[in-house]
């Protein structure tokens, strides 16, 4: 399990990432407590894997995991979370855990592409 740190514009929220091996890929499930109230509903979250750390990563992501961007709700009555996002990373789990990668979750382009969460995958 990986702890996701909330970005400055998403202060007070928490997140976790769970990784599971799926052959030559890795299933990545993100559990997010919430997003800022200004994020358009239904919530769209964009997920990227970068080489490096949350404090220092390249300008271009290694992987953009954005085939599906609509976040799932844990409750049908919740507008602000908690949310879950499921992704498939085209790397084996061991390579993902030892390669010095970070996962970044962003608000949609309509919401300014603001970094909401980041976590180091080790």
pLDDT digits (tens, 9 = 90+) for 60-75: 999 999 998 988 866 5
Q: For residues 49 and 6, is the Cβ–Cβ distance under 8 A?
A: no
Which pLDDT band, with edges at 50, 70 and 90, does 81 fall under? confident
> SS3 for 98?
helix
Extents of the domains making up the chain: 2-121
Evaluate if pTM is beyond 0.85: yes
Q: In terms of DSSP H, where are the helices of the chain?
A: 93-98
Cα separation, 44 vs 92, whole angstroms? 26
pLDDT at 89 over 80: yes
Average pLDDT for 18-37: 95
Burial of 112 (0-12, 13-18, 19+ CB in 10 A): exposed
The size of the chain, in residues, is 122
Query: Can you name the CATH fold of 2-121?
Result: Immunoglobulin-like (2.60.40)
Cα separation, 10 vs 114, whole angstroms? 9
């Amino acid at each position: 399990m990986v702890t996701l740190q909330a970005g400055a514009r998403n202060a007070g929220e928490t997140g976790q990432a769970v990784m599971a091996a799926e052959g030559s890929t890795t299933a990545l499930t993100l559990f997010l407590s919430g997003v800022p109230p200004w994020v358009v509903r239904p919530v769209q979250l964009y997920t990227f894997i970068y080489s490096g750390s949350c404090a220092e990563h390249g300008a271009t992501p290694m992987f953009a995991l954005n085939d599906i961007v609509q976040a799932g709700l844990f409750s049908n009555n919740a507008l602000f979370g908690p949310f879950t996002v499921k992704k498939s990373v085209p790397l084996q789990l061991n390579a993902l855990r030892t390669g010095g990668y970070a996962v970044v979750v962003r608000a949609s382009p309509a919401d300014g592409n603001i970094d909401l969460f980041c976590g180091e995958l080790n």
